[in-house]
Amino acid sequence: MTAPVRQAGVFAALCTLSLAVPLAGPRVGAAVAGIVLLGAYVITDGPLFDLLAYPGDYEDSRLYGLITFVLAAVALGLMATAASMPVAVFVGTILLVGYGNLGEQLVRLRTDGPVVRVVGFCLTAAVAAVAGQAITRSLAGDTVVSALPIMVFLAASGAFLAALLRDMLLRSDDPIVVLSVGLLLWLLAELQPTIGPTELLIALAVTVALGYTSYALETASIAGMLTGVLLVLLTTVLGGYGWFAVLVSFFAIGGLSTKFRYEEKTELGVAEDNNGARGSGNVLGNAAVALVAVLGYAASDAGLLPHEPELFLFAFTGSIATAMSDTLSSEIGSVFDRPRLITTLKPVEPGTDGGVTWQGELAGIVGAAIVAIIATGLFPEMSGGGATIIVAAGIAGMTVDSLLGATLEGSILGNQGVNFLATLSGALVSVLLVVTFVLG
């Protein structure tokens, strides 16, 4: 057994101590955490220190990694005892991170393939999270079988987020992972989504298959794949299959558009890096507003927000129409060598921020129309002028993207920031048009 596996096993065992809270109560749990913290503070060398230490801990001979991890767990524990976070979410989160790390290290004994390591982490983390929630519910006298779909949903969502954060951060940043996963699962638990076991299995199977396909086709990196998988899963469960279809249409068509005349775009210096594979920043820049709209829809539908759920649906489709329009406009329009700056209409070099071509603008309009056709075909509430609103929102957002690119990108904003503000503009335009002409 290698040192990383032994260390991961010890951390997993320490994470199991979180069961002290549902077993014996918050005071005993706090006492256990205090003992672990004290031990982490007084152990400064020797075999036990070597077993628990991260590389950065050796500089000051202090187990900072373990100390910060326990403090993060204590913070979640306080939320579970003094706030409304379910204790099952607290236990599930701690076990998810601890045992997910162990699963990944065990996989490393066989292979160092990135996808296999991610699968090992996610599967082990999800099983541990489900087990932790089930044990906690059983100890509290709550039903387990009927709550299994929501427990699996929370576990899978947490596992994908944890895997994503671990891919972007360092192993010693697990305290950040613990807090992030705990807060996400708390939010999802408050939304109380209703989903049956069959629907959940279908959602997971389709989501994972699409994520792996995007990675295999080199349209997404590992981080981009995990980000897309998490977004699609949340959208499917909280919104429905119609929302899923709209979001996936962007990921599929937008991802494939990066391959359009890729060699020619490479020669012009305007091709996406990593052979066109999009990372988490790019995915979030284009889909963060859509995710907020999904969460808003679920919160409104659950009575947590005093707004009509349909407004969030239009915000969602408006943001996706913008992302589709902007992506097709950039990926198709960039191969034409006569772009003009949108603010002055003067000719500029291909790839210049804010440069537009009539071919790119036409492709962008077609992209918005595709989203509008899919949305109006799936959502009865968008009948009538819904398609026009979505197309208008997509064109408006695409224009905002070009204007920001010509004025602020590079000096104040990065590409992801521009994408975020553009999709936010598309969402706001869509909502404003609905309020003015449909609900007004």
The DSSP letter of residue 272 is: P
Contact 262, 253 (CB under 8 A): no
**pLDDT tens digits, residue range 56-71?**
888 889 999 899 999 9
The torsion of the CA quartet 154, 156, 159, 161, rounded to 10 degrees, works out to -80
CA-CA distance, 419 to 414, in Å (whole number)?
A: 9
User: How crowded is residue 224: how many other Cβ atoms within 10 Å of its Cβ?
Assistant: 26
**pLDDT tens digits, residue range 212-223?**
888 888 778 888
Q: Is the pLDDT of residue 115 over 70?
A: yes
Mean pLDDT of 150-158: 97
CA-CA distance, 235 to 193, in Å (whole number)?
A: 11
Q: Is the pLDDT of residue 346 over 70?
A: yes
pLDDT bin (cut points 50, 70, 90) of residue 132 is very high
Residues in CB range of 382: below 8 A, 6 or more apart: 313, 314, 317, 375, 376, 390
Mean pLDDT of 423-430: 97
**pLDDT tens digits, residue range 227-236?**
989 999 999 9
Tokens of 310: 């349909």
> What whole-number percentage of the chain has pLDDT above 90?
60
pLDDT at site 256? 81
CA-CA distance, 370 to 406, in Å (whole number)?
A: 27
pLDDT at site 278? 63
What three-state secondary structure class fits 422? Answer: helix
pLDDT at site 283? 84
Of the candidates 325, 324, 434, 327, the one whose C-alpha atom is nearest the C-alpha of residue 379 is 434
CA-CA distance, 313 to 300, in Å (whole number)?
A: 11
Indicate the range of 20-29, 51-60, 226-235 predicted with least confidence: 51-60
Indicate the range of 135-139, 268-272, 366-370 predicted with least confidence: 268-272
User: How crowded is residue 136: how many other Cβ atoms within 10 Å of its Cβ?
Assistant: 26
pLDDT bin (cut points 50, 70, 90) of residue 259 is confident
Mean pLDDT of 92-114: 93
Question: What's the distance, CA 338 to chain centroid?
Answer: 37
* Burial status of residue 122 (CB atoms within 10 A of its CB: 0-12, 13-18, 19 or more): buried
Locate all alpha helices (DSSP H) within 83-221, ordered by sequence.
Answer: 87-108, 114-139, 148-168, 174-191, 197-216
Tally the C-alpha atoms within 13 A of residue 315's C-alpha that lie toward its C-beta.
Answer: 21
Q: At what angle do helices 415-437 and 280-301 cross, to 10 degrees?
A: 30
Torsional sign, CA 138, 26, 180, 48 = negative
pLDDT at site 267? 67
| Selected residue with higher pLDDT from 309 and 75 | 75
pLDDT at site 348? 86
Q: Which residue has the tokens 């197309």?
A: 391
CA-CA distance, 10 to 68, in Å (whole number)?
A: 16
pLDDT at site 269? 62
Q: Is the pLDDT of residue 203 over 80?
A: yes
pLDDT at site 281? 79
Tokens of 184: 């996400």
The DSSP letter of residue 36 is: H
**pLDDT tens digits, residue range 364-375?**
999 999 999 999
Q: Which residue has the tokens 């208008």?
A: 392
Average pLDDT of the chain, as a whole number: 89
Q: What are phi and psi of 409, to 5 degrees?
A: -70, 135
pLDDT at site 56? 82
**pLDDT tens digits, residue range 369-414?**
999 999 999 998 887 789 999 999 999 999 999 999 999 988 888 8
The residue type of 108 is: R
- The phi-psi region of residue 346 (left if phi > 0; otherwise alpha if psi is between -120 and 50; otherwise beta) is beta
pLDDT at site 230? 93
Which pairs from 40-43 meet CB under 8 Å and 24+ separation? 40/66, 40/67, 40/70, 41/67
Where is 423: in which H helix or E strand?
A: helix 415-437
> What whole-number percentage of the chain has pLDDT above 70?
94
pLDDT at site 170? 66
pLDDT at site 382? 83
**pLDDT tens digits, residue range 174-199?**
899 999 999 999 999 999 888 889 99
Max Cα separation, the chain?
Answer: 73
pLDDT at site 433? 95
User: How crowded is residue 215: how many other Cβ atoms within 10 Å of its Cβ?
Assistant: 21
Q: Which residue has the tokens 């256990």?
A: 32
**pLDDT tens digits, residue range 74-94?**
999 999 988 889 999 999 999
pLDDT at site 353? 86
Of the candidates 290, 284, 296, the one whose C-alpha atom is nearest the C-alpha of residue 319 is 290
Residues in CB range of 312: below 8 A, 6 or more apart: 293, 294, 296, 297, 300
CA-CA distance, 93 to 150, in Å (whole number)?
A: 14
pLDDT at site 275? 55
Q: What are phi and psi of 348, to 5 degrees?
A: -135, 170
